[in-house]
Structure 1
């Protein structure tokens, strides 16, 4: 269901972008609103007893008493979407007891959806490591770690697109410290974990969802064999 909802929202967003006269921020706002309305309505119809946390809906405390909470980002990478780029995503995830249990990340411009229940083999690690970073604001820790590892930096848009680049084998590391919220990474983490990748905070602590404070500022997704070394490097950089 998560995959179908993400795909349906993606199709709606592509149709809006291709057929509308809206541009820029107006297009992004309209896409956020339409996709969110569709996703919320479907979840309330099909999973009425579950909680919902969405970037685009007014926050309530009702979800905090639920052990099953859908965490969604109707348009992850609104700017990329509104600019006609391909590096944006739709996130639909289910957190169970605070863990990213089920997730789907649609990449509508690539006609692709990655999901936690249908996986291929774990992505192959490149001999020369590749790290995805923000195309506009690369995190200082990421740049410093990449320099130490002699890793290639790959600028990219949304969080979902960057995380799925690692899942798809187009990159090896996604190290982020510039600030995110639960909806930015819950679905990507559920998918990445299903593909056998390491996912954690940049201090090595687990990622916990459905918290009263939804701010979840940092994230590491990488191959398991690289995780300890990268975490040590980040710790050393932050201690300087």
Structure 2
């Protein structure tokens, strides 16, 4: 299967999961907590993941699947093909009836992203990449061309536990000191897609992000002309500490801000 085929499978799988989730959007949900009060899951998450995996198993029955829910793998294999699934990224938004959530599916080979798709049905936006170009609703998109940080909009992404809220405060302060404005969507894949299409200029966290929250969006940003690194400025991987994603033009300034988050 070539990369174009994997991109097509990712699109079909993301659409299948998003369709299941959207059918239950703004209906009653029994919400379960995972490890934190803001880390929640619903039966819709599980059923959407099952719909995604059904598509993947039909197309690529031997490939590994890394998924947020249930018993799927939790680590990305370093060799061979694999798929990374987030059935509902932004579950907190989803259960509150907010529209910013979606289903994300990424294809990786030997640990490197080669294609991906993120489907946001409540926003009527579908993103995908074949590793060379990124599309939104069929139209090619690219990162923004802004070079002045004071004219840029950026976001602190992921979520800091209650015992690390000082880091969240420092992230917001470091960004506010350098950039024109901040946004926080509560859905990492939506934030990364927004960098890919130029709606946002940068995304940053000092945390080690889960692959299902990030890999599809990272692939989109790179294919759209952007840059994604770890806190040291090295090329980001699914197991990197920190994630700094930008249009490339403001990356050094975003890195400066990111490195202040851990300072006490």
Same fold (TM over 0.5): yes
Instruction: Tell me if 1:124 matches 2:144.
Output: yes
Instruction: Tell me if 1:51 matches 2:33.
Output: no
How is 1:1-240 mapped onto 2 (pairs within 5 angstroms)? 1-17=9-25, 20=27, 22-23=28-29, 25=31, 28-60=41-73, 64=77, 66-117=79-130, 118-119=134-135, 120-126=140-146, 127=148, 128-134=151-157, 139-140=168-169, 142-209=171-238, 217-235=241-259, 238=262
Shift of 1:66: 4.2
Could you say if the C-alpha distance between residues 46 and 17 of structure 1 is closer, same or farther in structure 2, counting changes exceeding 3 Å?
A: same
1:129–1:149 contact (8 Å) kept in structure 2: no
> Which structure 1 residue ranges, 5 or more long, are not aligned?
210-214
Aligned residues, how many? 233
Q: Matched residue of 1:81: which SS?
A: helix
Query: Which whole-Å deviations, capped at 9, do the CAs of 1:149-169 have from their partners, x for residues lacking one?
Result: 133011211111111222232
> Which structure 2 residue ranges, 5 or more long, are not aligned?
1-8, 33-39, 161-166
Shift of 1:233: 4.3
Shift of 1:131: 0.9
RMSD over aligned Cα, in angstroms? 2.8
Could you say if the C-alpha distance between residues 178 and 41 of structure 1 is closer, same or farther in structure 2, counting changes exceeding 3 Å?
A: same
Could you say if the C-alpha distance between residues 154 and 63 of structure 1 is closer, same or farther in structure 2, counting changes exceeding 3 Å?
A: closer
1:9–1:38 contact (8 Å) kept in structure 2: yes
Query: Which whole-Å deviations, capped at 9, do the CAs of 1:78-111 have from their partners, x for residues lacking one?
Result: 1111111111121100111111111111111111
Q: Matched residue of 1:5: which SS?
A: helix
The whole-number CA distance in structure 2 between the counterparts of 1:12 and 1:116 is 22
Q: Matched residue of 1:166: which SS?
A: helix
Shift of 1:135: 9.6
The whole-number CA distance in structure 2 between the counterparts of 1:173 and 1:99 is 22
Which residue number corresponds to residue 164 of structure 2? none
The whole-number CA distance in structure 2 between the counterparts of 1:57 and 1:51 is 15
Shift of 1:40: 1.5
Taking structure 1 as the reference length, the TM-score comes to 0.84
2:68–2:74 contact (8 Å) kept in structure 1: no
Could you say if the C-alpha distance between residues 92 and 85 of structure 1 is closer, same or farther in structure 2, counting changes exceeding 3 Å?
A: same
